[in-house]
Amino acid sequence: MSPALGEFTGEEDVQLPADKTLFGKYELGKLLGYGAFAKVYQGWDIESEQSVAIKAINKQRVVKGGLTGHVKREISAMRRLHHPNIVRLHEVMANQKKIYFILEFAKGGELFSKVAKSRFSEDLSRRYFQQLISAVGYCHSRGVYHRDLKPENLLLDENWNLKVTDFGLSAVTDQVSGTADKVLHTMCGTPAYVAPEILAKKGYDGAKVDIWSCGIILFVLNAGYLPFNDPNLMVMYRKIYKGEFRVPKWTSPELRRFLSRLLDTNPKTRITVEEIYSDPWFRIGYKDADIKSQYFETTKDDGGRNLKNLNAFDIISFSSGYNLSGLFDEQDAGEMFLSTVAPEAIIEKVADAAEEEGLKVAMRKKWCVKVDGGQYSNFTLMVEVKGLTEEIVVVEIRWRECENESGQEMWKDKLRPMLSNLIYQPEVNSE
């Protein structure tokens, strides 16, 4: 369970909802875990009869706790990710009280529970570290930095393969101000896994922080205990900042050297994902095909922005099921849809439709247009077009209204019907 969603407490009400069927699509089963803001159940997809994990988040508690951003970040991060070593987000649904994440079910449970019983052999530690780096490298290639990697956030499937989960503290590049240098400033993470540059509070590279945490995880898998640990938090932080740790005597010279590169207190000289792939200790038993896979291929649009070669999951990710605008009943409302029409033509069509309805085009560029209400003085509409693939774009529509219902009525009853021929409905194989 994500720290962002609250630590487990014995006082939490753990009773199953009276209605064990969600939206006629999923059946709730036994409780797997719970915290102050969320519960996780085993569930079943009624149609496919496949097991899923259902994370039920209490809206009111999240809003009161100021954690709306955490939930949105988790959805925003996970909808970008489709990798065999990352828990897959199938769907997001919501009602007045709850938000439901429908997730891939990891039957093997937490990796932490396995290593807590006994340390792993060096070969087994390497196997799981290889899977971890495959997932982390993929996340970084998609602009997602986890920032809370630890064994408790690593699950195992029925074949004992690793699955990274819990992106509640993640950072996504297009959500971070000043993303050109990828410098982040938020103090986050679990104390024993926090990188020294986070403690310095001078800004940090999300990729470098994740690599440090991966080094801590590899140390724990091999040793069975943490490299930096002390009941006094400040003493532990001092050890982390100085990089003071001792590897156990059974550690091979090759792994000792590798750990020293992972747990380098200087982020500028710390090993990178690309260098990890080339390391002799890491490469034992690792196939090139796993490294240079389809997940890292990129193309560029005419705006110079990187676009990924997307699969069916990416298209599903931009469907209405992933629209976050209404999750927390915010003042801004909106929708998004896919289109195969050129961005300029979409913007022109929106502007023409707005003017036909007596609205004022306040701002117009190649990729976006802003419309003011005219006679609907409280209504503002923003339409932005974003590249998804070479053929498909995402059209995001957001409107704001102050005192009346004219905004929603204007968009849904008048403007949207005039733009229906722009909408692309992909045929996606659900298997």
- Beta pairing, strands 21-22 & 26-34: antiparallel
How far, in Å, CA of 228 to CA of 230, rounded? 7
Q: What's the CA gap between 273 and 208, in Å, rounded?
A: 9
Amino acid identity of 220? V
CA distance 388 to 374: 33
H/E stretch holding 138 reads helix 122-141
Closest to 240 (Cα-Cα) out of 203, 271, 194:
194
How far is Cα 153 from Cα 87, in angstroms, rounded to an integer?
Answer: 10
Burial 121-150 (b: 16+ CB within 10 A, else e): ebeebbbbbbbbbbbbbbbbbbbbbbbbbb
Give the residue numbers annotated as catalytic, written as ranges.
148
Residues 6 or more apart whose Cβ sits within 8 Å of residue 205: 182, 183, 184, 197, 267
230 alpha-carbon distance from chain centroid: 31
3-state class of 256 per DSSP?
helix
Return the closest-CA partner of residue 397 out of 329, 342, 318.
318
Place of tokens 């209404």: 326
For residue 395, the cross-strand partners are 337, 385
Q: Distance between CA 230 and CA 73 in Å, rounded? A: 31
Q: Which two tokens stand for residue 130?
A: 């290889």
CB proximity list for 202: less than 8 A, separation 6 or greater: none
